[in-house]
Structure 1
């Protein structure tokens, strides 16, 4: 893995909230903005920031709203994709960046897809990881369209985590800040299940994989112990709202140049029908700018941390074309 880059931290006022931003590398162009997922932080991109900063890129990694050092509005409706895309655009404006390379993971990938639909003029090229552009989940189109929560309920049942997350207060009982360290270990190591939360924790936990240190876990845990998980969970509570509000873009496609990266062991790569969609034309039809799909063997959901050097090189190889 690349050596740790010198990280600069600051708070930026953008879109009516205070955003914590980590930066490394050069001050000018070209710039790369990294959008993290659930339940993560800017820190998820530490390896990629080091790799690209060493190659002359300005790296910008915010904590998204509700996470870490960024403000967490109390209203559930304040976590729609429109709010978060607005945060990203306002952040670019505040930093004086007109166009940017975008790299996203998990919910950050979802926000990046929306950004490329709503404001493609601000994106030079996109590298998204883990979550493909599933049009029926992102955008309402047609009278027979099925709400995202109904889609997940119908395919995976009422106990699926996206379904459990919908009612305020329920998920918070599972995601207690007091258990943040244990939860982060379970989630990052792809060992999280509903039975892994609540009650006593086992005295002897499984060892961490070689790509994750106790210091890494501690960084995530300390932030979630302080902030709790409600802001992050509120993103899921806006899935139906996003789907409805995005209806005016029902025919929009992702035209910006795109590379998609996913681990072959990622849960999202095993959604019903997703591999046929990704590899047999549907994904390309919705994302005409798709340049390539990279499937990384032996990687789970947190691919940018699990296979840091490989992912960093794929990002660099792609964005260096522009």
Structure 2
């Protein structure tokens, strides 16, 4: 197995067979016997996205484990076809993946599970469903508002209303659920490397218009205030959406949190796998599959100590209006705080790894 580029010294990689039907690629650092931290990445990232915080967490006395999740990177055993059976990518099965991984590693219980972006609701559901195995949880960049209610949801007209705006708009998650989305990004006109560069830049604190604030509600008028990487122009692909925000050569050269050599690791991995594995997650979300499964836990709250961490310049905090408040007031009974990291956008653990490490260690030490 070729090594990933840019991994700090001490981080090792291996493949584990028989993990809920997967051969799972895992990055690890730290000593056997130390309390375990399980780190779960989001989209479009990899276990590699934790490379900047893993050594410091290990240095503080933790064994750190970060898998490429189902649908990503060097983990295999999942179906990359658009017509794949989506149940494999449902939220309960993603939790099952983590339980199977811990079983394969002979780890009966972690010290904490930490998830970023789409890894955040996976981490939250781990703590919701199996608090005995996941006794602490950190959610990053994507607030968890709780399991869905059994009450029927009112008819959602927001997508029709977005399409009726001038100019017409569409929500990125529903675009990600479409058949062309994978090809649009994988075969981006500007090339995959430059697409990813523009995408990461657009959602980072390096893009000056990332100045988030709370929206008033799930309405077209409010959602249209989000940047176009969340609420796109109707007739544009994601590659076309981010292309005007491609950073200059000077900006790329000065980007310390994601140098071109490290971006090349993402580009080479996604060139090999495509994006469809991660996009299946969005299809489970937008198609109602996750809500159907998670209603089993309706009314149940996360009772273990919890923390939310995000970049202060991250619109992801507010992309679902009210979710941050519901997480604090309803979904979690032992919420220890919200830490917003200045100078970071959506890729917080890459943009400001030292500040994220401090926030994590403060929480881990406070909760024993």
Q: What TM-score do you get using the length of structure 2 for normalisation?
A: 0.78
8 Å CA contact retained: 1:126, 1:259: yes
The Cα of 1:76 is off from its aligned counterpart by 4.3
Q: 1:141 aligns with which of 126, 146, 150?
A: 150
Equivalences for residues 92-111 of structure 1 within 5 A: 92-100=102-110, 101-111=112-122
User: Number of paired residues?
Assistant: 311
8 Å CA contact retained: 1:140, 1:244: no
The Cα of 1:122 is off from its aligned counterpart by 0.7
Q: Which of 190-199 and 288-297 deviates more? A: 190-199
- Whole-angstrom CA distance in 2 between matches of 1:38 and 1:7: 22
- Whole-angstrom CA distance in 2 between matches of 1:155 and 1:255: 38
Q: Residue 284 of structure 1 aligns with which residue?
A: 329
State the SS of the aligned residue for 2:51.
helix
> Which structure features the higher share of helix residues?
1
8 Å CA contact retained: 1:126, 1:258: yes
Question: Deviation per CA, 1:11-34, whole angstroms, max 9, x where unpaired?
Answer: 112111110001011112300010
Q: Residue 309 of structure 1 aligns with which residue?
A: 354
Q: Which of 261-270 and 218-227 deviates more? A: 261-270
Work out whether 1:222 is the aligned partner of 2:254.
no
- Whole-angstrom CA distance in 2 between matches of 1:21 and 1:254: 27
Q: Residue 32 of structure 1 aligns with which residue?
A: 37
Runs of 5+ consecutive residues of structure 2 not aligned to the other structure: 1-6, 164-168, 204-227, 230-235
Q: 2:313 aligns with which of 250, 262, 265?
A: 265
- Whole-angstrom CA distance in 2 between matches of 1:232 and 1:97: 26
- Whole-angstrom CA distance in 2 between matches of 1:253 and 1:156: 33
The RMSD of aligned alpha carbons is 2.6
Q: Which of 195-204 and 250-259 deviates more? A: 195-204
Q: 1:181 aligns with which of 183, 186, 193?
A: 193
- Whole-angstrom CA distance in 1 between matches of 2:28 and 2:160: 42
8 Å CA contact retained: 1:263, 1:303: yes
Equivalences for residues 1-322 of structure 1 within 5 A: 4-12=8-16, 13-71=18-76, 72-74=78-80, 75-77=84-86, 78-100=88-110, 101-135=112-146, 138-144=147-153, 150=156, 153=159, 159-168=170-179, 170-176=180-186, 179-190=191-202, 193=229, 194=236, 197=239, 207-208=251-252, 209-239=255-285, 240-271=288-319, 273-274=321-322, 278-279=324-325, 283-321=328-366, 322=368
- Whole-angstrom CA distance in 2 between matches of 1:285 and 1:88: 25
8 Å CA contact retained: 1:265, 1:298: yes
8 Å CA contact retained: 2:49, 2:349: yes
The Cα of 1:4 is off from its aligned counterpart by 2.7
Gap change, CA 1:141 and 1:205, over 3 Å in 2: farther
Runs of 5+ consecutive residues of structure 1 not aligned to the other structure: none
Q: What TM-score do you get using the length of structure 1 for normalisation?
A: 0.88
